Every structure is written in structure tokens, then in C-alpha cells.
Amino acid sequence: MTMLELRGISKSYGDHKGASDVSLVAPSGSRTVIVGPSGSGKTTLLRLIAGFEAPDAGTISLDGRQLHGAGGSVPPHKRNIAYVAQEGALFPHMSVGDNVGFAMPRQAVDRARRVDELLEQVGLPAGFRARRPHQLSGGQQQRVALARALAQKPDLMLLDEPFSALDTGLREAMRTMVGDVLREAGIASVLVTHDQAEALAFADHLVVMRDGLVADAGPPQRLYERPADVETARFLGEAIVLPSAIVGGVARTALGDVPVRHEDVARADVLVRPEQVVVAAQSESSMGALGRILHRSYRGAQWRLEIDCRDGGVAEPFCVDVPAGLDLKPGDLVRLSVANEAHVFPDSPT
């Protein structure tokens, strides 16, 4: 069943188009992530879904109920949509307990018990109920903001870059915790972020926006491995784009022959991710394309190598991670090959 559906949504701010004829579907119970660079329209969509702004055109429906369309617009407080802002947006003059219980009837006999349950659900002890927001760390404030949003028992949770202000380790822990809490509560969510790694890790349905348009949408693994176009491929991660000729299910590229799922064509661009590239010292292999190491940087368990293969026909140097035990230095010649399938871009010339 569809939880959230946008059809033909457009929104302009003067000459700038925040959203241009956007249509997307977020499945019921899904963790949908809208990712894109600054100005791509992702936050505009979130605000339109919440009802903070009205689209210039199009319809928004939630679980079969129209929130915006020809018949008018449902106000934000009647949409039963929770919103978690980037900084949590807690009320500074209220205690943690009052923040969490803000959406509950003040006379509810089980209000205190419910607040304690929600705090426990987001990993905070009941003793935090009396604290004020300024007494909490950034991660704790975000947990309280999530508990407050859960208190209203929403049909949909909107999250506006909620982890961006947190340190890297805490960000990953919070992302996992939020995903677990939403899944256990059975609440669908839409998160916006500019962080590609965060988007891929959190989403089970990913939407990539560019210039107010949906560039690609679907399961994150499909978007990473088989993106709709070169720009989406490069936005979601490091990409090696190789011209090729395809014969008998094999792309003949500058890095060697690579299997593909595509009919024979004389000219097509294929995508190889750096983790598919197998690197061997020239002294250990005579097979594969020849490349030269330009730079290396130490990353603990790995070296990141920048490799130049332009003499072999690869347009630009690219980076590959190899085990730290592999003794390769700048200036060394290496042999390169590709493991697994490459992706053929749909709009490749034929």
C-alpha cells in the first residue's frame, strides 16, 4: 500500500524553481531519503509535505487522504505528520518531560508513564525527565526531539538533516537508533540530507534530486549500482565512466573486458565503481591495463591510491582502496582489472 504520494508538484520562489513537476511515491512503512546538493529542492519538498508551504501545482496524498489538491489544503496541525528539525528545536524553557509530553493532553492520567516509555524507547533514562535542553548533549537533544515526535503517534515522520550537527561516530549510532525506533513503531519516514553515505545507509527507498527535479528514485542499492545517468552515479559515489563497445554481453574497455547486461552496441558508456577495480603490482601480473600510482594516503586498514591510467584510455585519474599490507608507492606501475559486472548507462549513444 502507498503511504505518501506526490503528483506533479511544482513550487517557485521568484525565478527559482524549488520543485518542478515532481512525482514520487513513498511505500507504506518505508524509510524514504531525499538526497541532493544544496538548492536541489529536497527541503522544499519536505516543507510542502509538512504543510508549511503550499505547492503552486500538484497533489499530495497520505495513505489515500488528500492533503493538498484542487479541493484545498489540510493545515499542518491536522495532517498528523511529525517533524524533527535539524537542531531538534526543543523548547528551552521546558524540561525534557514537558518537551516530550507537549503533544499529549495535559490532564492525561498516564502522561508521566508515557513520557518515561518514550524516553526509554529512544535510549534515555527516565531520570532525564527533569533536565533542561541546555543540560543535554547534541545527541541527547536529538533523542528528546525524536521522543517528542513519537508522542503524537504520527502517520509519517519528517526528518530535516537531523544528524548533520553530530560528530561522525555519534551520527552513525543515532542513525541506526532512529531507524530501529521507527521500524519498531511502524512509522513511515522521509529524511532529507546532502550526505550521500548517510542516504545510502538509512534509506530503503532513495530519491535523488537535482535542480528541482527527481533525477532517480528506487532502492538505494539499485541507484548506486545501476543509476539512471552519469551525474547521479558521480553524486552517489566515486565513479569510473568508461567508453566501450559491447559484443556478446562483454564491454571492451580501457580496463579490459567486463561483463554487462546489454545488447551489442558499437558505443556505450559503462560505470565501474572503484571497489570493483583489482590492483596488482606490475611485477606480479602481466594481465590487465597498465596504470601508475600518483599519490597514496594512509587510512589505517587501507591505502587510498590515486591511479593514472590515461595512457591506457581512461580519461581521468581515479582512487582505489587497497589493503595496507600491499606495498605500493607513488611512481609504481600497476596492473588493473575489473571484477563483477559493469553498468551500461541507459542514455548511452548507440
pLDDT at 350 over 60: no
State the Cα–Cα distance between residues 265 and 344, nearest whole angstrom: 11
| pLDDT confidence band for 74 (50 / 70 / 90) | very high
3-12, 168-177, 217-226: least confident range:
168-177
Global pTM value: 0.89
Digit-coded pLDDT (tens) for 276-333: 999 999 877 777 899 999 999 999 999 999 999 987 778 889 999 999 988 899 999 9
Residue 43 has pLDDT above 70, yes or no: yes
Chain Cα centroid distance, residue 320: 22
- Could you read off the pLDDT of 56-69 as tens digits, one per residue? 999 999 999 999 99
Q: Residue 294's pLDDT is what?
A: 97
CATH 3.30.450.190 fits 239-345, yes or no: no
Is the per-residue pLDDT at 197 higher than 90? yes
Q: Where are the domains of the chain?
A: 2-234, 239-345
Buried b (16+ CB within 10 A) or exposed e, 154-191: bbbbbbbbbbeebeeeebeebbebbbebbeeeebbbbb
- Which backbone phi and psi does 304 adopt, to 5 degrees? -100, 120
Task: Determine which helix (DSSP H) or strand (DSSP E) holds 272, and give its type and residue range.
Answer: strand 265-272
pLDDT at 165 over 80: no
Q: How far apart are CA 330 and CA 6, in angstroms?
A: 51
**Which residues have a Cβ under 8 Å from the Cβ of 212 and sit 6 or more positions away?**
17, 18, 19, 20, 22, 40, 41, 44
On whether the 2-234 domain is CATH 3.30.70.20, my answer is no
Under the banding of pLDDT at 50, 70 and 90, the label for residue 108 is low
The whole-chain average pLDDT of the chain stands at 91
Confidence of residue 166 (pLDDT cuts 50, 70, 90): confident
Q: For a pLDDT cut of 70, what percent of the chain falls above it?
A: 97
* pLDDT greater than 80 at residue 87: no
pLDDT for res 317? 93
* Amino acid 107: pLDDT: 66
Contact indicator for 285, 335 with CB cutoff of 8 Å: yes
